[in-house]
Amino acid sequence: MHGRKFSMFRHSASAALLAAASLGLVLTGSGCAKNPEAQFAWRDSTELLIPDARKTVQKTMHESFGTPHDLVAWARMPVQYGGLAPAAAATDDAAAGDAAPVDNGPFGHQLQLGRQVYMKNCLHCHGVAGDGAGPTARYLNPKPRDYRLGLFKFTSTLAPERITRDDLHRVVKYGIPGTYMPSFLLLDKPGTGDVNTKAVIEYVRWLAMRGEMEKRIDDELVDYSLASIDDEIAKAKNSYESAKASGEKADPPPSRSALTRKAAGDFKTYLAEDYADAVDGTADFIAENWIRADEEASLIVPKVARVTDNAASRERGRLLYMSDKTKCYTCHGHTGKGNGPATEDFWPKPGSTEKYANRGLHDVWGNKLSPRNLRQGQYRGGRRPVDVFRRIYAGIKTTPMPAFGGTVLKDEDIWDVVNYVMSLPYEPEVPSAGPAKAPRMAATEARQ
Amino acid sequence: MGKFWAVFFMVFAVACVALCAVAPYCGWWFPGDGKAHSTLGQKIDDLFYLILVIVTVTFIGTQIAIGYVLWRGATHNPNEKALFSHGSHTLEVVWTIVPSGVLLFIALYQMDVWAHYRIKTYFPQKMEPVAEVTARQFEWRIRYPARGKKLMPTPQPDDIYTVNDIHVPTGHPVAISLRTEDVQHSFFVPMLRVKQDAVPGLVIPVWWEMTDTGTFEVTCAELCGWGHYKMKAQVVAQSEDDFEAWKTTTAAEQFYDGVPRSATEVAQRPQGE
């Protein structure tokens, strides 16, 4: 079921060990300790599982993805590992004919190169596991992307879809202005076919799949976590207390060790009966999502060409911006400065009634977000009209920016909004009149 | 033993000269092909070579003198009586006047190159900048005016943007407006011999004239933070026609609305731009 392991360090390990042992005394004595070995950190949700469940998850992850020093190319993940998979090489001779140039390198070489490029350029912000928690991350605002939900902000795909390789390519090549993500335009020498860039993109995709896999398995096992045991104790305690208060007879709450034992017993059954299916299903789900992202049907292609950028179009855009249909102004503000009334509210955390401690909007990682100041002329997801069109069409994934395309706005309407928004940096700052005060609202309605 | 030291010091001096002579053939010289690719850079190199010749002559002369003195001292007759001297006034005047003359010559001679850069014809404020280069941790962002337009101090709707990729035409002097968005950086193009600090709050004009087309590395020469080492860009020097054509295609890409227009574009679309 699993792919082949390839090790970078195993062969030299024994020799290195000997050398390290002899050097060790000298180095530690002089205060020059060895760097810690790179490791994929576990999610908190994995660490909080009961020991049996945790070990099972960690074993699955090790078998499917390996460690940073000992990568596993799992054939079920849609990653271009480079080279021909050992199984495919034997049977694929006929099919290889119509494929692009045959990659005869050793299996997995692209992933290994990607790791090398990643470790050199990306790791200090994005972290070994792609968790956005590298050593420099704590100094950055906005925070570096945590890949482990498999979600990225600036994509060219429909709202429910993942990011494409092309999108990642653009981000690596041109950076994200307004953030600390710099351009890696010169990562590859011209004419070398972007080998390093392509490899690091595969590695990032692989890290995202790995992270999502861990998260989804943890979610499956949520009944076997210490948190759910705490919940259960609290619940039992409550009902016991209330029963006692009303004078009824009730069982005292179970002890933690009893519950842990019970969860361990339940987990044993689950492991024997359902775990393999859960892992299988999760792997299929992730693989299908990532394959679908690169399919043509997922790409947002405007149905009409950009509406001519003139005063009339911008005015229509402005009225849409101020309308209750889009409510753009509630976040981006009446003047487009990103200071709408929504930034002053306390918002509930997703899936709960508890509110964030700070005013303003948050992304799915819980970081505070400012709606974009549209007057700066800075476009994180790209400044091509099609980029802004796609932001409005599919929203910005992981953020409160919703998708308008196909439902709320027709493509022509989106182009009007694009024209209005892209004109803002060059216009004097006059607060937009709301639709109630706008006599030309009728024009917009007539158009629809 | 005296002879040994005389020979030792001479071997050392000869090795120095020999090493310097072969350095350009071993790649231990100026970056790239060793030539400056801007007109001013060639003048700067000329100054460098002039000074190199002066110090080489001086070095060889003094080494021969030292060698002669050491050898004489090692081979003199031990019974010979030492000569006692109060020094030579004439000699002192000579070795004061000659180096002063050389230094004065260098000081005056180089002023022309400095004036050429800062004061003479191409003083950059008289030139239209081709682009605004903004340094930022840790990349270079470039803004060009649209084809046929002048660069405005503030962004315009039809401006063209690139990152880490500075295209300039050859055949006439070009200027850029250098800015920084955050801390101090330094715009350094070793192969053009151009180096200019970017200072927060200032827009600094920098000019040069390409001698040929090609791609030249840009680095940051002012330690600006943890990513300083990766702050690389390139200057791409093109003929005037190629430069204008590049502007046209770049503008077309930048104003792309995502709607495939022709059969070829349809075929290319899945691969991105």
pLDDT tens digits for range B22-66: 998 888 888 888 889 999 999 999 999 999 999 999 999 999 999
Q: How high is the ipTM of this complex?
A: 0.83
Please tell me the predicted confidence (pLDDT) of residue B122: 64
The answer to whether A341 contacts chain B (CB < 8 Å) is no
Q: A129-143, A233-247, B99-113 — which is least confidently predicted?
A: A233-247
Q: Is the pLDDT of residue A200 over 60?
A: yes
Closest chain A CA to residue B164: A185
Residue A2's pLDDT band (boundaries 50, 70, 90)?
low
- DSSP-derived letter for residue B133 is E
Average pLDDT, chain A: 85
Q: Is the pLDDT of residue A236 over 50?
A: yes
3-state secondary structure B15-27: HHHHHHHHHHHHC
The string of pLDDT tens digits covering residues B145-166 is 999 999 999 999 999 999 999 9
Q: A304-313, A361-370, B116-125, B179-188 — which is least confidently predicted?
A: B116-125
The string of pLDDT tens digits covering residues A19-67 is 544 444 444 444 566 777 888 999 999 999 999 999 999 999 999 999 9
Nearest-CA distance B140 → chain A (Å): 9
- Interface contacts (A, B; CB < 8 Å): 73
The answer to whether A296 contacts chain B (CB < 8 Å) is yes
Q: Is the pLDDT of residue B134 over 50?
A: yes
The string of pLDDT tens digits covering residues A393-414 is 999 999 999 999 988 999 999 9
Give the separation between CA A204 and CA A83, rounded to whole angstroms: 18
Instruction: Indicate yes or no: CB of A384 within 8 angstroms of CB of B157.
Output: no
Average pLDDT over residues A354-379: 90
Give the separation between CA B144 and CA B177, rounded to whole angstroms: 10
What distances in angstroms separate CA A305 from CA A308, A321, B5, B255, one per listed residue? 9, 20, 85, 12
Give the separation between CA A359 and CA A139, rounded to whole angstroms: 22
Average pLDDT over residues B214-237: 93
Give the separation between CA A203 and CA A107, rounded to whole angstroms: 14
Please tell me the predicted confidence (pLDDT) of residue A448: 39
CB B158 within 8 A of CB B196: no
Mutation target for A interface from B159, B161, B164: give the one with most A CBs within 10 A.
B164
pTM value surpassing 0.80: yes
Interface of B with A in 183-242 (CB under 8 A): 215, 226-227, 230-234
Q: Is the pLDDT of residue A438 over 60?
A: no
Instruction: Indicate yes or no: CB of B156 within 8 angstroms of CB of A426.
Output: yes
Which of B263, B147, B255 has the alpha carbon at shortest distance from A308? B255
Q: Is the pLDDT of residue A84 over 90?
A: no
Q: Which residue has the tokens 């200057």?
A: B235
The answer to whether B254 contacts chain A (CB < 8 Å) is yes
Question: In sequence order, which residues have a C-beta less than 8 Å from that of residue B45 and are 6 or more positions away?
Answer: B30, B35, B36, B193
Q: A370-384, A409-423, B78-92 — which is least confidently predicted?
A: B78-92
Give the separation between CA B255 and CA A384, rounded to whole angstroms: 5
Instruction: Indicate yes or no: CB of A306 within 8 angstroms of CB of B257.
Output: yes
Sign of CA dihedral A89, A95, A96, A99: negative
The answer to whether A190 contacts chain B (CB < 8 Å) is yes
Nearest-CA distance B124 → chain A (Å): 28
Residue A227's pLDDT band (boundaries 50, 70, 90)?
confident
Label residue A398 exposed, middle or buried (CB < 10 Å: 0-12, 13-18, 19+).
middle
Q: Is the pLDDT of residue A433 over 70?
A: no
Question: In sequence order, which residues have a C-beta less than 8 Å from that of residue A424 and are 6 or more positions away?
Answer: A336, A374, A375
Residue A151 tokens, joined:
């979600």
Average pLDDT over residues B218-236: 93
Please tell me the predicted confidence (pLDDT) of residue A102: 64
Nearest-CA distance A138 → chain B (Å): 14
In CATH, which of 1.10.760.10, 2.30.180.10, 3.30.470.20, 1.10.3720.10 is domain A311-447? 1.10.760.10
Amino acid at residue number A246: S
The answer to whether A169 contacts chain B (CB < 8 Å) is yes
User: Strand ranges (DSSP E) for chain B?
Assistant: 129-136, 139-144, 160-163, 165-169, 174-180, 185-189, 194-198, 204-208, 214-220, 233-238
Q: Is the pLDDT of residue A276 over 90?
A: yes
Find the CB nearest B155 among A166, A306, A377: A377
Average pLDDT, chain B: 90
Residues forming CATH 1.10.760.10 domain(s) in chain A: 311-447
CB A21 within 8 A of CB A51: no
Average pLDDT over residues A102-117: 87
Question: In sequence order, which residues have a C-beta less than 8 Å from that of residue B146 and are 6 or more positions away?
Answer: B156, B158, B159, B160, B247, B251
Identify the CATH number of the domain defined by range B124-255: 2.60.40.420
Q: A97-101, A152-156, A207-211, B187-191 — which is least confidently predicted?
A: A97-101
Average pLDDT over residues B224-232: 90
Question: In sequence order, which residues have a C-beta less than 8 Å from that of residue B268 and are 6 or more positions away?
Answer: none
Cα B214 to chain centroid distance, Å, stands at: 16
Residue B270's pLDDT band (boundaries 50, 70, 90)?
very low
Domain residue ranges of chain B, discontinuous segments joined by +: 2-76+94-117, 124-255
Instruction: Indicate yes or no: CB of B137 within 8 angstroms of CB of A422.
Output: no
Instruction: Indicate yes or no: CB of A175 within 8 angstroms of CB of B163.
Output: yes
Amino acid at residue number B195: K
In degrees, rounded to 5, the angle at the alpha carbon of residue A324 between the alpha carbons of residues A318 and A325 is: 85
Average pLDDT over residues A67-73: 91
Q: Is the pLDDT of residue A7 over 90?
A: no
Average pLDDT over residues A310-330: 94
Please tell me the predicted confidence (pLDDT) of residue A353: 83
Q: Is the pLDDT of residue A183 over 90?
A: yes
Residue A10's pLDDT band (boundaries 50, 70, 90)?
very low
